[in-house]
Structure 1
């Protein structure tokens, strides 16, 4: 096996990094995950994730975790509504489609993956600050002034990875969209009318250049995202202080002119807002060939893309499956050859997913946007 007597460091304990560790351990390799979160109890903020049959579910099946995923996830339909609160189309899961892409809470997914790993796999509170080579080893330096020596580094630390320059000099770019995300606790009490309208379905509303996506079932929380094109007057910065809750409520209540108070009421019962400019990492087949020691990227660290096709984590899990198979099952002359083969495959399928995500983003900003264009 290529990884005999070899220590692999995985940077980042997101779904992709943890799945990578599980698959490597399953193949008999030694894998350690270094994560900046303080401990396993650190809450992961954000909406649910849906894993697709041909990508994310394939990786979990390989890891022997697919049945657990189905047990922890919820098959959700989707409702398309207009700005007045009228339902236009409803799509409800069937017995045949319930396993296509059920939604799972991010924290539930992390817990499932953590429990599948060998004891001691995760080293918590390890924020990577330096990466150097010495005596044919990678020397990892952390914020707490500790170090670790490993043979292979796999960067799974997200789109803003600090050490990606060892692999590629490509820079992350903003796409021109913003997403304002919020959570509403106890939605059946705090926004009962909207909660009933959702009726255990995701809800999508598009009007006036804004797209609202609501998930009422995120571990007792209603999670939503409001997507819009960056206003011209926000060039270089955005003047709105998203830490000022009242200012955010006032701003978007004015911006959503013509929208029902049913939707505007969401802002009034949101305790905290997070604004995220959507970003992408262009993929080029020009990743560095002269890396000092084996190192590569998976997940958003490799191919950050706009979240408008539901492909990001799914493509990342496919990365983990293909790379782990190359390293533990297939016959390559060297670790670098196995990494190179993974990267050549990844450039193809991740580029296609990124293209689809970008096309969907452009459609949503079109004045004549219709939901069915995203379903084609």
Structure 2
């Protein structure tokens, strides 16, 4: 096997990095994951993930975790409402759709993957800072002063990954959309009218002021995203976005003509996170010659906005293809296995980015409506 007696270091304990670790570990590979979070209990914010057939689900199936995913994930319907809180469309999930693409909380997915690994696989509180070579080994440096060595490095630590510079000069590009992510504790009481409008389904609302997508069943919280073209205030780093109260006031003003149930939602929000949407374009700038085996997976390779639901799924497909290449005996060298994976990834990830860009452009249109997806 290509990785016999080799040490593999994966940077990043997100879904992609942990899935890659599982797929390698079950084939007897010596793999260690380095993660900046303090420990396994560190909470991950963000919306739920839905894993698609043939993509994310296929990777979990090969990892022997698909049934565990189905046990923890929720099949969710869709509700489309207008800005005045009137329901325009409602769809429940029927039994035949139970396994299509159920939604899973990010923390639940992380624990599912962690529990499938050897207990010492992940090294926590390890923020990656630098990489260099010495005596035919990769030397990994971390902010806490720890030094590690590896024969093969896989960067799976997101769009701002510092490992990328060893492979490509590609940099982050902002796509022109701002997402304001909010979380509401105890939505049954703190924003009862809005929670009732959701009715246990993912709620989508669109208007000239922007879009709103909410999930009332994201673990123990209701999470939502408000989406619109980046305003001048944000581009100028206006202080309005520097505090929870400032963001709340901005939303009240921007959506002043929307029904009071949406304002109830903003008022009940305990925390906001700003996400200016980003991408990394894929091209032929990836270095063919590298001092030692190294590659990228997931957002570290091809971050894209979430408007086609492709990011996590494409990243898990990365892990599936690369792990198979490294363990199926079809390649003579690690470098050949990496090159084959990267050439395939360029094709399907570029297509996913294209689909995402088409959706993003449509969503920025003043006459965009979620109804077009369902009628």
Q: Distance in 1 between matches of 2:234 and 2:106?
A: 31
SS in 1 for 2:96: coil
Q: Distance in 2 between matches of 1:283 and 1:372?
A: 32
| 1:1-376 matched pairs, under 5 angstroms | 1-235=1-235, 237-374=236-373
- Is contact 1:204–1:211 with CA below 8 Å preserved after alignment? yes
SS in 1 for 2:241: coil
- Is contact 2:209–2:255 with CA below 8 Å preserved after alignment? no
Q: Distance in 2 between matches of 1:284 and 1:311?
A: 19
Q: Distance in 1 between matches of 2:326 and 2:78?
A: 39
Q: Distance in 2 between matches of 1:109 and 1:170?
A: 30
- Is contact 1:243–1:273 with CA below 8 Å preserved after alignment? no
Q: Distance in 1 between matches of 2:312 and 2:135?
A: 35
Aligned length: 375
SS in 2 for 1:129: strand
- Is contact 2:178–2:275 with CA below 8 Å preserved after alignment? yes
Q: Could you tell me the TM-score, scaled by structure 2's length?
A: 0.98
SS in 1 for 2:292: coil
Aligned-pair RMSD on alpha carbons?
A: 1.2
- Is contact 2:19–2:113 with CA below 8 Å preserved after alignment? yes
User: Comparing 345-354 with 257-266, which one deviates more in the overlay?
Assistant: 257-266
Cα offsets for 1:271-326 (capped at 9, x unmatched) = 22111100000011331112111000000001100110111000000000000000
Cα offsets for 1:163-222 (capped at 9, x unmatched) = 201011011100000000110000001011111111110000000140100000011210
- Is contact 2:207–2:367 with CA below 8 Å preserved after alignment? no
Q: Distance in 1 between matches of 2:209 and 2:28?
A: 51
User: Comparing 32-41 with 245-254, which one deviates more in the overlay?
Assistant: 245-254
Unaligned runs of 5+ residues in structure 2 are none
Q: Could you tell me the TM-score, scaled by structure 1's length?
A: 0.97
Unaligned runs of 5+ residues in structure 1 are none
- Is contact 2:89–2:371 with CA below 8 Å preserved after alignment? no
Q: Distance in 2 between matches of 1:163 and 1:373?
A: 40
Pairwise CA distance, 1:240: 3.8
SS in 2 for 1:214: strand
- Is contact 1:363–1:373 with CA below 8 Å preserved after alignment? no
Cα offsets for 1:82-126 (capped at 9, x unmatched) = 001011111211111111110111111000100000121011111
SS in 2 for 1:130: strand
